[in-house]
Amino acid sequence: MKPTNRPARPLFSSGPCAKRPGWTPAALADAPIGRSHRSKIGKKKLAAAIEKTREILGIPADYQIGIVPGSDTGAVELAMWNFLGARPVDLVAWESFGEGWVTDAVKQLRLSNTRVLTADYGQIVDLSQIDPRHDVVFTWNGTTSGVRVPNGDWIADDREGLTICDATSAAFAQHLPWSKLDVTTFSWQKVLGGEAAHGMLVLSPRAVERLRSYTPAWPLPKIFRIKKGNDLNTGIFKGETINTPSMLCVEDYLDALGWSESIGGLDALIARADANLAIVADWVSRTDWVDFLAADPATRSNTSVCLSIIDPWFIALDGDQQASLAKAIAAILDREGVAFDIGGYRDAPPGLRIWCGGTVEASDLKALMPWLDWAYATVKAQAGDDQAECPPVADERCR
């Protein structure tokens, strides 16, 4: 039967993600609107965002933290354009964003001394294959596959190469071993539910030394330039951003950081995400039509939780029918106002993707689970009536 209990906040998008509980536009009241980001108050706000990030994530004091343009994508691109080319590089991918970094390194930068290691959706590459003499580019948490790195044990302490880590769906939800990471990127709109377009770049002393000793052969766009002469432009890592940031977005990020601190910091954020994953895992264990896309529980994300439909009836359909049915499930839930934006990523196997990061309330996830069963049963029944043809999402019979 159709459930009656609805999530209070049906916000389960994997980016931009739900804002912290209780958020209202009043949280932005202290934003220095109409003021320059180079003004005294602007610089103070930006510096506070950097230092609060350091405190909550436990980033070492000798690591540099900067706010850069273009969200996490801009931060990763900036890192690859500045650091790659000095030595061979291992490019690691098991989902679409990792594959994007492979494409950029091979086809845009045209690096010749590369080794590409890939795995199918739901799997992860054999990380023991990573050569410590090489630089390596990888995602910590695959947002579109729900597969994360289980730990940093595979990264050698005496490595010669740099580790360049896209951690956008992991930072603030998973412990990151900073001693193993040389260049780390993430964005505000993921785990903390901030606004988009701003990226974070974290550099270890080893990464800073690479900047000093190496200049890439290709030209760098202005928004990628983090050197001044032959040294690091330290101003960028004190809040003197390369281009103009939105002070509204900065204020929103400060609000999210303040909330994180108020609930107990990183450990509390991780505990909330883990508890949310446990709710989904309990439902999956009792449900015969669905399973996690991530095959190994040790690599299962606690933020971007990706689900596969394993009903034999569904598996017997062709790919287009599967994709249509998965979209119909997400559309019904959207129309009912109980779950927005939970369709699987367009390049991933047909299924669902539910954000479980710390800004999502456990009570909302508990309320959502019966709706998933109802939506699947509804779509399956209608598809069966139409010889496995899923009706258009506007079809009244699917309501």
Inter-residue contact 183 to 209 (CB < 8 Å): no
Residue 143 has pLDDT above 50, yes or no: yes
Q: Report, as an integer, the average pLDDT of 72-80.
A: 98
Residue 74 has pLDDT above 90, yes or no: yes
Residue 395 has pLDDT above 90, yes or no: no
Q: Where are the domains of the chain?
A: 25-261, 265-398
Residue 98 has pLDDT above 60, yes or no: yes
Determine the topology of domain 265-398 in CATH: Aspartate Aminotransferase, domain 1 (3.90.1150)
First to last CA, the chain: 12
The one-letter amino acid at 151: N
How far apart CA 81 and CA 330 sit, in angstroms, is 38
Q: Report, as an integer, the average pLDDT of 219-227.
A: 96
Q: What is the mean pLDDT of the chain?
A: 95
> Tens digit of pLDDT for each residue in 167-196?
999 999 999 999 999 999 999 999 999 999
| Per-residue pLDDT at 386 | 60
How far apart CA 12 and CA 360 sit, in angstroms, is 7
Give CB contacts under 8 A, 24+ apart, made by 107-116: 109/80, 109/81, 109/84, 109/85, 109/218, 111/84, 111/85, 113/87, 113/88, 113/89, 114/88, 114/89, 114/90, 115/88, 115/89, 115/90, 115/91, 116/90, 116/91
% of residues, the chain, pLDDT over 90? 95
| Per-residue pLDDT at 384 | 78
Q: How many CB atoms lie within 10 A of CB 331?
A: 18
Q: Report, as an integer, the average pLDDT of 331-335.
A: 98
3-state helix, strand, coil in the chain (%, to 5): 40, 15, 45
Determine the topology of domain 25-261 in CATH: Aspartate Aminotransferase; domain 2 (3.40.640)
pLDDT range class, residue 385, cuts 50, 70, 90: low
Could you give the C-alpha distances from 368 to 109, 336, 393, in angstroms and in order? 44, 11, 20
> Tens digit of pLDDT for each residue in 294-319?
999 999 999 999 999 999 999 999 99
How far apart CA 341 and CA 299 sit, in angstroms, is 23
| Per-residue pLDDT at 393 | 44
> Tens digit of pLDDT for each residue in 227-281?
999 999 999 999 999 999 999 999 999 999 999 999 999 999 999 999 999 999 9
Q: In what order do the strands lie in the sheet with 290-292?
A: 290-292, 304-309, 351-355
Q: Report, as an integer, the average pLDDT of 127-155.
A: 97
Instruction: Give the torsion through C-alpha atoms of 270, 276, 277, 280, to 10 deg.
Output: 180
| Per-residue pLDDT at 398 | 36
